[in-house]
Amino acid sequence: MSLLTAARARAPDLGYTPDFVSTAMAPYIKDIHRKGVRVISNAGGINPLACAAALQEVAKKADVDLKIAVVAGDDLMTEKENLKGAGITDLESGKQFPENIHSMNVYLGARPISRALDLGADIVVTGRCVDSGIVLGPLIHSFGWNRDDYDLLAAGSLAGHLIECGAQCTGGIFTDWHAVPDWHNIGFPIVECSSEGDFILSKPPDTGGLISFGTVAEQLVYELGNPQRYLLPDVTCDFSQVSITEIPGFDGGAVKVHGAKGLPPSTFYKVNATYLDGFRATAVCPVGGPKAVQKGRRTAESILQRTRLIFNQLGYEDYSAVNIQVLGSEDTYGPHARGSIDGDHKTCNVKRITEIAESKFQNLGTDVPGVELICVLFVPAPYDYALSPVLKPFFFYYPKSNVQINLFLNGQHVETFEEDLTFTSDEVVLSDPPKISSEFKDLPSGPHTYRLEDLAYTRSGDKGNSANIGVIARHPLYYPYLKKTLTAQALENYFQHLLERKTPEEQLVTRYELPGIHGLNFVLKNSLGGGGIASLRSDPQGKALGQMLLDFQIKNVPDLKSLIE
């Protein structure tokens, strides 16, 4: 959203996702009209009205008549000055509301989408909303689910959660990627939902990819926090007892999903804001020859030493953060990291700083044997350089009663949508710690050791500066051994090189259980170096953490493979 904000600042008719209009809609607009397909998308970004106007131009050129609705009201930037003195703090870090806020958007829910469909919209465009709302909205519209049908709303939200990342649930980033056929022609997921809340997840015939228990279970735990308290604008979901059953006879596979439970949503929306926190210079130096890893690290350290000497002479501050990492050397696996180098700098004379750093990077072409230099440096306008600001996330809750949601149809305002707060709860967090099974006295032991990959699937994702890792047993008989071995402390020890402890007593890893899929979910706090575009790491969103965990050793167990034969 922050990048789209920057785009709109350059031109008032920008700020949405242009590919949605040009690639996803324009080539098929006549077929969409002829077949009566109704389209819902959150591609409106920071400027949904401009996105709808661009779609209207496409429809006009194709000579088709479509009703295009817009859900607006997620952008809170007009409230910036009022919020500065309201005592708002970040949900993760506790930091005060920043002065230099860059973007600020509410995660809206599914009800406004459903209402737009009730008004006859053929296409609904939203700004920021929860991804699962794109699916839940049409289900509410089609089935007439009430605001207190919490289990049904949770089921519809689960359907949206599973398909919100497209081919991720059809084998796109599956642990067993090598078993997924025709990756180049991977099919996107289809959900067929019933009014009772059960649904079947499949994919189009004659497409690549795979639908299986493993591919779908992995997506269930993707970017999940507490599975018993998955907070959404329309419902608080409990996914801990969800079951996934493979259905034979489908081309490419299919599963039936059921068991989602729901509770009232909170009276608050979650807000995703970003703020400017300095600028970034990045250099990548391919290094070849013997001892390339050691050579890369020494090269990077030399750059830092040289530039810091000059900064000191000129009275500039030090880098606010640096990251040295050797790509291809498995640096992310532990403290023995080597190198690509990124640096953040906050000093006001960024042009001069960049010139200093650039001159030192250029010297590498002759200073270091076997080095081919690629140098990319970013400084702020008005200088003749590309801009690469460091934008950090800031999350907080905001009362639903303070948000005005407006519905537009073909460019005209038709309704102000109001959330009914009757079916809500003031509770937004779960105060009780998760209940963890601890009794393993009757669990047989043995002399065998397995890599986690032999016993489980994994999937990881990000939420701000926190990451989650979901672990799903490949067979129910493996589950108790995973629960016994994969404790929160075990993962904290395993990933200690990535975790940033703010206070000595801070708990950095929390474990939750999902017995419905024989799974565990771990939330790793302060694990992404700031997260997203604020991080200097090569994996700023933690997508590879689950893959790293596959090497974890499950020790002192019996011959588990024989248990299922």
DSSP state letters, 277-304:
EEEEEEEE--B-STTHHHHHHHHHHHHH
**Residue 359, C-beta contacts closer than 8 angstroms, at least 6 positions apart:** none
- Are the C-beta atoms of residues 262 and 236 closer than 8 Å to each other? yes
| Domain chopping of the chain, boundaries | 1-148+267-276+392-429, 149-263, 286-372, 448-563
Q: Which of 192, 176, 158, 183 is nearest to 252 (CA)?
A: 183
The residue to which tokens 């020790």 are assigned? 555
Residues 82, 87, 91, 94: what is their CA dihedral angle, to the nearest 10 degrees? 130
Please report the pLDDT score of residue 420 as a whole number: 85
Residue 271 is encoded by which pair of tokens?
């807000």
- Are the C-beta atoms of residues 443 and 556 closer than 8 Å to each other? no
Q: Strand locations in 181-248, DSSP E?
A: 190-193, 199-202, 230-231, 236-238, 243-246
State the pTM of this model: 0.87
Q: Is 1 helix (H, G, I), strand (E, B) or coil?
A: coil
**Residue 127, C-beta contacts closer than 8 angstroms, at least 6 positions apart:** 42, 44, 45, 46, 47, 48, 71, 72, 73, 74, 75, 105, 108
**Rounded Cα gap, residues 101 and 80, in angstroms:** 8
Amino acid at residue number 189: P
- Are the C-beta atoms of residues 1 and 103 closer than 8 Å to each other? yes
**Rounded Cα gap, residues 174 and 453, in angstroms:** 12
Please report the pLDDT score of residue 370 as a whole number: 36
How much is the CA Rg of the chain, to the nearest whole Å?
25
Please report the pLDDT score of residue 435 as a whole number: 61
Please report the pLDDT score of residue 367 as a whole number: 38
**Residue 477, C-beta contacts closer than 8 angstroms, at least 6 positions apart:** 560, 563, 564
**Rounded Cα gap, residues 541 and 356, in angstroms:** 30
3-state helix, strand, coil in the chain (%, to 5): 35, 25, 40
CA distances in angstroms from 468 to 149, 155, 224, 331, 555, listed in the order given: 29, 22, 7, 20, 24
Task: Please count the residues of the chain.
Answer: 565
The residue to which tokens 């296409």 are assigned? 123
Q: Where are the alpha helices (DSSP H) in 315-341?
A: none
- Are the C-beta atoms of residues 253 and 212 closer than 8 Å to each other? yes
Q: What is the DSSP letter of 544?
A: T
- What is the H or E stretch that residue 396 is in? strand 389-399
Q: What is the DSSP letter of 549?
A: H
Q: Which residues pair with 473 in a beta bridge?
A: 456
CB contact burial 353-389 (16+ within 10 A = b; e otherwise)? bbbbbbebbeebeeebeebebebebbbbeeeebeebb
Please report the pLDDT score of residue 149 as a whole number: 98
Amino acid at residue number 260: A
Q: Which residues pair with 261 in a beta bridge?
A: 238
For the chain, report the end-to-end CA distance as a whole number of angstroms: 51
**Rounded Cα gap, residues 360 and 322, in angstroms:** 16
CA angle 436, 90, 110 (to 5 degrees): 75
**Per-residue pLDDT for the chain (565 aa), expressed as one digit of tens each?**
767 877 887 888 999 999 999 999 999 999 999 999 999 999 999 999 999 999 999 999 999 999 999 999 999 999 999 998 899 999 988 899 998 898 999 999 999 999 999 999 999 999 999 999 999 999 999 999 999 999 999 999 999 999 999 999 999 999 999 999 998 999 999 999 999 999 999 999 999 999 999 999 999 999 999 999 999 999 999 999 999 999 999 988 999 999 999 999 999 999 999 888 877 777 677 777 888 888 888 888 888 898 899 889 988 888 888 887 777 676 777 742 344 455 555 544 444 554 555 554 444 433 333 333 333 333 333 323 334 677 788 999 999 999 999 999 999 999 999 888 888 887 655 445 566 555 677 899 999 999 999 999 999 999 889 999 999 999 999 999 999 999 999 999 999 999 998 887 888 999 999 999 999 999 999 998 888 777 878 788 899 999 999 999 999 999 998 877 7
Residue 280 is encoded by which pair of tokens?
């970034």
CATH number of 448-563: 3.30.1360
**Rounded Cα gap, residues 485 and 456, in angstroms:** 13
